[in-house]
Amino acid sequence: MTLQDLEPYYAKAEDKMGTTRTNGIPGLPGNNNFKVMYAGAKRLGYKGVHTGRMSINSQPRHGRDACWQMGFCFQGCKSGAKWSTLYTEIPAAEATGNLDLRSQAQVLQVQAGADGKVAGVLYADKDGNQQVQKARAVCVAGNSIETPRLLLNSANAQHPDGLANSSGQVGKNYMRHMTGSVYATFDRPVNMYRGTTMAGIVTDESINDPSRGFVGGYEMETLALGLPFMAAFLDPGAWGRGFAAAMDMYDHMAGMWLVGEDMPQETNAITLHGSEKDQFGLPVPNVHFDDHANDIAMRNHAFKQGSAIYEAAGALTTIETPPYPSTHNLGTCRMSEKASDGVCNGFGQTHDIGNLFISDGSQFTTGGAENPTLTIVTLAIRQADYMAEQMSKGAI
Amino acid sequence: MKKTTGMNRRQFLHTGGLAAAGVAAVASGTVLVAPDGAWALQLQTLDEHTAKTLLGMSRQIYPHDTLADMYYAGVVEALDGAAQSDKDLATMLREGVSALDQAMGVKWLDLSEGNQLATLTAIQDGAFFQKVRGTIVVALYNNPLVWRHFGYEGPSYEYGGYINRGFNDLAWLDEPSEDASPKAS
């Protein structure tokens, strides 16, 4: 699969999502936190510094308002400026009359028939009653933890190691991006929490330049946490006068997130827990992740460069904050050319079962340096076209 | 240099069971009263000494000198509330305070600041300290009235966001280029 294959679908995704700096949509206005990043990055000589390509409306578009600069982008956007399938694609699909949406349900098992194809799903409905839904094709989109868990929990006599797992790759090569944060304090107020949380980026370090001591690259993106999260995550577990003094500088702080390509490792994996079960009696997922030496070297470089940006902007102090507990979940059902190397092909169609598809970030073979939603959406649109073609040919 | 708390007693009374001394309708239990009478906290489970020591501990763990005791009393209220439905926690808090009192043979509250810190540092990896720290980091910094001390303005939706309320009012650095940061439309 090449970039050329994906380009038309990236274009469709950017148009659907209303990504700024594409389709003639202007960039978002920078907030205070961006102004600090911009000043420091420019003084250091960085070139790619702007308010990013955000799927957040900078002007009214497709019936949704422009950004109000509320500062709660991570919690879901109350003004609807930030793209979300909840109020874009799903209502549009319902309006066609062809979507039967069953919310608050959980699929317990993908059921395989004697013909080697999947026949449907067993699910618990919103009242907890178990139901079977027959299907011509099944697309699994639970992302990198729940998708492999479902495939593993769907093991049967024909597929004793789980569905689509003849390669043994289901659950393997779990990725979560190299991450970290740098916060800095200044002698004048910043009020970083005001405005679009992540509309600010320095792209210069996203290249592959092994002379830096690691392969792959990373982005630096503006980030702010509200006071309670800041207290919990600035320096987890820290207490005493030094910590309190840093917190006292909250409104004089600027912050950035570091996000880069982490190394896929087979030992980073989602497996079924040996004893813990959910309310339906299914094993819960066990998540294992260790940094690769390359991740550690990249984070070290990113901490130094992020701190240098803030020092160039006049920082009094800089604080290196370790990765937050939640992040981008990627990998675990990777694409591969050969069926023995991965779970699905370039269209997300599983190698083992022609009418079973992976439609989420677990298809990723590597994480890249970028925030992944655009690529996940791009792959999903391309997969939908492929499925329509296969169904019209009668192949599915 | 630091901002004032910008809050009066009436506002504070709305945060929970804390009440101004003199107006508290005390049904039962122990009441912790501020030395200056500014606030009173009715304890459900903890004894007065345990509560006072936890308040002192909270001040040492997250020492913001200009943040009044009543905010830390809110932390004690959270611990007291949690202990009401969790007997093991109540025991842990009582025994933890007792151990602090015995650490140097002088009641912890009567120790010098340096000795208070030393005794806390000695137990910082233990379950008691971690439970107290983990509870108060939420109870202290997630109090909307405490946000004012730190200059955090909290939810903005009801005010229409920050688009017209200073999201880009920083004026002590060069403005970004129009290309990097277009004007709001």
> Mind telling me how many Å the CA of B32 is from chain A's nearest CA?
25
Task: Inspect the interface and report whether the beta carbons of B161 and A70 lie closer than 8 Å.
Answer: yes
B7-16 burial code (b ≥16 CB/10 A, e <16): beeeebbebe
Q: Of B152, B157, B166, which has the smallest distance from its Cβ to A227's Cβ?
A: B152
Contact state of B185 with A250 under an 8 Å Cβ cutoff: no
The verdict on a CB contact (< 8 Å) between A35 and B168 is: yes
What is the pLDDT, as a whole number, of residue A146?
A: 98
Range from A18-27, A291-300, B40-49 carrying the lowest mean pLDDT: B40-49
Q: Is A201 on the interface with B (CB under 8 A)?
A: no
pLDDT digits (tens, 9 = 90+) for B135-150: 999 999 999 999 999 9
Cβ contact B142–A228 (<8 Å) = yes
Instruction: Give the type of residue at B157.
Output: Y
Q: What percent of chain B has pLDDT over 70?
A: 84
Check the CA dihedral A235-A238-A240-A242 and report its sign: negative
Torsion sign, CA atoms A345, A351, A353, A354: positive
Task: Write out chain B residues lying below 8 Å of A49, CB-based.
Answer: 176, 180
Q: What confidence category does residue B9 fall into, taking pLDDT thresholds of 50, 70 and 90?
A: very low
**What is the pLDDT at residue A18?**
97
Least Cα separation, residue A11 to chain B (angstroms): 22
Residues of A in contact with B155 (CB under 8 A): 72
Instruction: At B165, list the tokens.
Output: 């309320």
DSSP secondary structure code for residue A22 in this structure: S
In chain A, the residue whose alpha carbon lies closest to the alpha carbon of B151 is A251
Nearest-CA residue of chain A relative to B64? Answer: A244
Q: What local confidence, expressed as pLDDT, does residue B39 receive?
A: 85
Confidence of residue A326 (pLDDT cuts 50, 70, 90): confident
Q: Which residue has the tokens 């101004």?
A: B20
* pLDDT greater than 70 at residue B17: no
The stretch A51-63 carries a mean pLDDT of: 97
Compute the nearest-CA separation of B146 from chain A (Å): 9
Banded pLDDT at B12 (limits 50, 70, 90): very low
Please give the full DSSP string across A253-317, using - where no structure is assigned: EEEEEEEEPPPP-TTSEEEEEEEEE-TTSPEEEEEE----HHHHHHHHHHHHHHHHHHHHTT-SE
Indicate whether B29 pLDDT > 80.
no
Partner B contacted by A240 (CB < 8 A): yes
DSSP string, chain B: -PPP----HHHHHTTSS-B-TTT----SSEEEE-TTSS-EEEESSS-HHHHHHHHHHHHHHS--TTS-HHHHHHHHHHHHHHHHT-HHHHHHHHHHHHHHHHHSSS-GGGS-HHHHHHHHHHTTTSHHHHHHHHHHHHHHHT-HHHHHHHT-----GGGTTTTTTTTT---SSPPPPTTTSPPP-
Both tokens of B26, joined, read: 């005390």
Confidence bin at A109 (pLDDT 50/70/90): very high
Q: How far is B22 from chain A (nearest CA, A)?
A: 32
Tell me how close the Cα of B55 comes to any Cα of chain A, in angstroms.
14
pLDDT score recorded for residue A10: 98
Cβ atoms B119, B104 nearer than 8 A: yes
Condensed to tens digits (0 to 9), the pLDDT of residues B50-93 reads: 999 999 999 999 999 999 999 999 999 999 999 999 999 999 99
pLDDT of residue B25: 45
Closest CA to A350 of A50, A80, A34, A138: A138
Coil, strand or helix at A366: coil
What pTM does this model have? Answer: 0.92
With tokens 């909840």, the residue in question is: A86
For chain A, what is the mean pLDDT?
Answer: 97
Strand partners, B47: none
Record: contact A27-B138, CB cut-off 8 A: no
Residue A75 burial by Cβ neighbours in a 10 Å radius (0-12, 13-18, 19+):
exposed
Q: How confident is the model at residue B30 (pLDDT cuts 50, 70, 90)?
A: confident
Instruction: Answer yes or no: do B64 and A247 touch at CB < 8 A.
Output: yes
Q: pLDDT tens for residues A121-177?
A: 999 999 999 999 999 999 999 999 999 999 999 999 999 999 999 999 999 999 999
- Residue A15 makes CB contacts below 8 A (sequence gap 6+) with A22, A23
Q: How many CB pairs under 8 A join A and B?
A: 154
Residue B21 has pLDDT above 80, yes or no: no
Interface check for A226 against chain B (CB to CB < 8 A): the answer is yes
| Backbone CA torsion sign across A125, A131, A135, A141 | positive
CA-based nearest distance A204→chain B, Å: 14
CB A382 within 8 A of CB A347: yes
pLDDT (tens digit per residue) in A189-206: 999 999 999 999 999 999
- In the block, residue with structure tokens 């079962």: A353
For residue B32, what pLDDT is reported? 85
The per-residue pLDDT for range A340-393, each reduced to its tens digit, is 999 999 999 999 999 999 999 999 999 999 999 999 999 999 999 999 999 999
Residues 366-385 of A with CB under 8 A from B: none
